[in-house]
A and B are shown apart, each in its own frame.
Chain A
Amino acid sequence: MSALTETADERLLETSPLRRLLARPELGSVVGALAVFVFFACCADSFLRASSLSTVLYASSTIGIMAVPVALLMIGGEFDLSAGVLVTSSALISSMFSYQMTANVWVGVGVSLLATLAIGAFNGFMLTRTKLPSFIITLGTFLMLTGMNLGFTKLIDGTVSTKTISDMEGFPTAHDVFASTLTVGGVDIKVTILWWLGLVALASWILLRTRTGNWIFAVGGNKDAARAVGVPVDGTKIGLYMGVAFGAWISGQHLLFSYDVVQSGEGVGNELIYIIAAVIGGCLITGGYGSAVGSAVGAFIFGMTGKGIVFAEWNPDWFKFFLGAMLLLATLLNAWVRKRAEATK
């Protein structure tokens, strides 16, 4: 062993604090968020008002609640194209079950949770069983759910929207939990912001401090290596899809209880918004890298841009242009960061 005590690390370079900072997955999004913030603070006078910021935060939270589990799923190396319509499905199931059974709305909320989780598990199960790309599997569920949302709603209610449930038992409390507004120091805080922050904290804890988090990074970074050391790859992926379903359930209940009816055609296209928020937040499209905080910053950029354009009194048609440009910039930055982080030999 004596021959082995000599060290073989003369090629190891000292890592500067700057390089460490550059290796953070959130870095690009934080820089981007600051830039967008300063930009709208200069261009739109009303942007810095407390009420405007609370509107921005609310818009961010509705995206962010889904961006968090979608980011976790992407770190785990998969996509979920059904995430957008799953939110609507979850709201529809909750609303229609309560109405048809004339039950307390909380019963519908509970049934909706089980059904939504089951759809998430179905996605994961199909993926791990068939070994097909998640793009195909979830594109399939996306189309099926879109059809079922419209089909069942028309079949049961006769129109494209559900019947109002606002006069039903349990509605006030459910509204409090999923769609209330708190006033703190004269500023309106939507309860979704609390849900969002809670989810970010929970997801960060899971990712960075639990065994499950280690597994999520591993199955996204190198599935075969993970399997070879005994990580339950299939179980982790199914769990991630159920996580997305859980987010969809919260979003769906918010959608339902902030009004009292649900439009069955809603949600299409939102899945891409969640993915974009996660990518802007530093998630690699190829998996194995990213953070929950980053996805929150990505969602915040979304919220700022969407509302900022309104506050600046510009034509909102340009929103998508900004978004596209931001996505490209973020992806380029991420690719560069990844190259530095993964540089071998």
Chain B
Amino acid sequence: MTQTAQRTPLVELTGVSKRYGSVRALEGVSLQVHAGEITCVLGDNGAGKSTLIKMVAGLHQHDDGVLRIDGEETRLASPREALDRGIATVYQDLAVVPLMPVWRNFFLGSEPRKGTGPFKRLDVDLMRRTTRQALLRMGIDLRDVDQPIGTLSGGERQCVAIARAVHFGAKVLVLDEPTAALGVKQSGVVLKYVAAARDEGLGVVLITHNPHHAYLVGDRFVLLKRGTMTGSHTRDEITLDELTSQMAGGSDLDALRHELQRR
């Protein structure tokens, strides 16, 4: 951890704010993403988690503060630009096209082609083979890459999306609540692939409202509450209990415990 702190972060937000009209969605949020590390963004509903990833993914632009990619101050104009700069975002709900086969989904938007002129065509064999290999590399063994991706479970679909980002050379992987809609076991599977992506050297931003999941894999923790940052810690500074209690609002949780214990 100590030597990574010296390196330039892949993505760094400093005092970033975002307003939607008169609504202040984010105020003064700072965050660092390093290669081979997982930065967790924790917060309850409405804390500003989605706004934060939309800025990193290039869907929205920040109003104040500084966004740096590889140490260079920048603004992302579109999701395409974010992708080109190595930032891949896996959304919870809009990651895939359910009726399309796994291999078509895998290469969607970056299809390899062969041939020239009017005969330029998809390199279907390469696409099928690469999909299978890339999934295997992440530890996912799909017997049939031709099945519609909608036939996979929610967790498997997340994993395919993660494998996809890794394959296309993403340097930063942004995951929007990858475990939110999943059961305990499936969440575990997804977290394993998140860790696998980290081991491949990617910087990961994991958005979640589950401190247990975050603490399992996270190296840094950023806590959001109603659009402001209420805490920013590295793993050695904080325990799971502290994280949980901060996330739940600390004193609110104590009060709740008192109330419940009296019964």
Using a CB–CB cutoff of 8 Å, the interface residues on chain A facing chain B are 1, 3-9, 11-12, 14-15, 23, 205, 209-211, 213-214, 217-218, 221-222, 224-231, 284, 288-289, 338, 341-345
Min CB distance B155 to A, Å, is: 9
Q: How would you classify the secondary structure of chain A's contact residues: helix, strand, loop or mixed?
A: loop
**B residues in contact with A284, CB < 8 Å:** 99
- Say whether, besides A211-B111, A230-B109, A341-B148, A221 and B100 are in contact (CB < 8 Å): yes
B92, chain A: closest CB distance, angstroms: 12
Please, how many angstroms separate the alpha-carbon atoms of A15 and B143 in the complex?
10
Q: Does B124 contact A (CB under 8 A)?
A: yes
The answer for the CA separation of A217 and B97 in the assembled complex, in Å, is: 8
CB of B184 closer than 8 Å to a CB of A: no
CA of A338 to CA of B98 in the docked complex: distance in angstroms?
Answer: 11
B139 touching A218 by the CB < 8 A rule? no
- Cβ of B80 under 8 Å from chain A: yes
CA–CA, A211 and B138, complex, Å: 26
Contacts A210-B122, A228-B89, A342-B150 aside, 18 further interface pairs with beta carbons under 8 A come to A1-B139, A3-B192, A8-B189, A9-B142, A209-B124, A210-B121, A211-B113, A217-B97, A217-B99, A217-B100, A221-B100, A225-B91, A226-B109, A230-B83, A230-B109, A289-B99, A343-B151, A344-B150
B215 interfacial by beta-carbon distance below 8 Å: no
**Are B108's CB and A226's CB within 8 A?**
yes
Bound: A226/B199 CA distance, A: 28
Given contacts A8-B141, A211-B113, A230-B80, contact A225 B97 (CB under 8 A): yes
B74 / chain A contacts, CB cutoff of 8 Å: none
B120 → chain A closest CB, angstroms: 7
Residue in B111, B140, B153, B189 whose beta carbon sits within 8 Å of that of A344 in the complex: B153
B225 within 8 Å of A by Cβ? Answer: no
Nearest CB on B from A213, distance (A): 8
Say whether A226 contacts B151, CB under 8 Å.
Answer: no
Q: What residues on B are CB-neighbors of A14 within 8 Å?
A: 143
Query: Do the beta carbons of A288 and B99 come within 8 Å of each other?
Result: yes
Using a CB–CB cutoff of 8 Å, the interface residues on chain B facing chain A are: 79-80, 83, 89, 91, 94-100, 104, 107-111, 113, 120-122, 124, 138-144, 147-148, 150-154, 156, 189, 192-193, 196, 199
Chain B residue at minimum C-beta to C-beta distance from A345:
B153
- Which residue in A6, A210, A225, A230 is a CB contact (below 8 Å) of B94? A225
> Of A11, A23, A345, which one neighbours B154 at CB under 8 angstroms?
A345
For the complex, give the distance between the alpha carbons of A228 and B92 in Å. Answer: 12
Min Cβ gap B184→A in Å is 14
7 contacts between A and B (CB under 8 A): A9-B142, A217-B99, A228-B94, A288-B100, A343-B150, A344-B98, A345-B153
Task: Say yes or no: B95 contacts A225, CB within 8 Å.
Answer: yes
Shortest beta-carbon distance, B60 to chain A, in Å? 13
Residue numbers in A under 8 Å from B122 (CB-CB): 209-211, 213-214
Residues of B within 8 A of A345 (CB): 153-154
CB distance from B29 to the nearest CB of A (A): 23
* Also in contact, A210 and B104, with CB within 8 A (given A4-B192, A226-B97): no
CB distance from B243 to the nearest CB of A (A): 24
Least distance between A232 CB and chain B CB atoms (Å): 9
Kindly state the separation between the CA atoms of A230 and B99 in the bound complex, as whole angstroms.
Answer: 18
**Cα distance A338–B142 in the bound complex, in angstroms:** 21
Query: Is there contact, CB below 8 Å, between B148 and A342?
Result: yes
From the candidates B80, B108, B142, B193, name the one contacting A214 in the complex (CB within 8 A).
B108
Report B148 CB to chain A, min CB distance, Å: 5
Which residues of chain B come closer than 8 Å to A338, judged between CB atoms?
99
- The 9 A-B pairs at the shortest CB distance, nearest first, are namely A4-B139, A229-B109, A221-B97, A7-B141, A230-B109, A222-B97, A224-B94, A342-B150, A211-B111
Contact B153 A222 (CB under 8 A): no
User: Given contacts A4-B193, A8-B189, are A228 and B79 in contact (CB under 8 A)?
Assistant: yes
In this complex, what residue of B is CB-closest to A8? B189
